[in-house]
Amino acid sequence: MDFIQQAYKGENSWWRWLLTIVIVMSPFLLNFAIYFLLPEVYKGLMEDTANFQGNKNIFLIENLMPFAVLLVLLIVFVKFVHLRPFTSVVTSRSKVDWSRLIFSFYRLFVSTRRICVEF
């Protein structure tokens, strides 16, 4: 089965898509709302972030944690709301080809590194 044909698997009614998009995108939408509706609050948050003096590793974890939570939320919605296996979102094969995935991330890392070194 082709990758595009897998879009027809599972439950694809419009309300499922809308629910998934709204719930998973809500932190980003909230961020935009704070930026546009409460610029003073947003400016204060940005100053606190710029003046952070604590452990940089903790700061990194705090900033990456929302993305990890959103990934888990996306997996839950794909599995239980859309009734699809998560691998159908990633690949058309029966299981993930980890060597291709690692190779792709390696290429991405090398090209990003090359761009950063040039500038």
State pLDDT tens for residues 65-95: 988 998 999 899 999 998 888 888 888 888 8
pTM here is 0.68
What tokens appear for 33 in the block?
């709302």
The residues, any chain, with a CB within 8 Å of residue 33's CB and separated by 6 or more, are: none
Question: pLDDT tens digits, residue range 33-69?
Answer: 888 888 888 888 888 888 888 888 888 898 899 889 9
pLDDT of residue 76: 92
- CA–CA separation, 20 and 117 (whole Å): 39
CB 24 within 8 A of CB 77: yes
- CA–CA separation, 66 and 63 (whole Å): 7
Q: What share of the chain is helix, strand, coil (3-state, %, to 5)?
A: 75, 0, 25
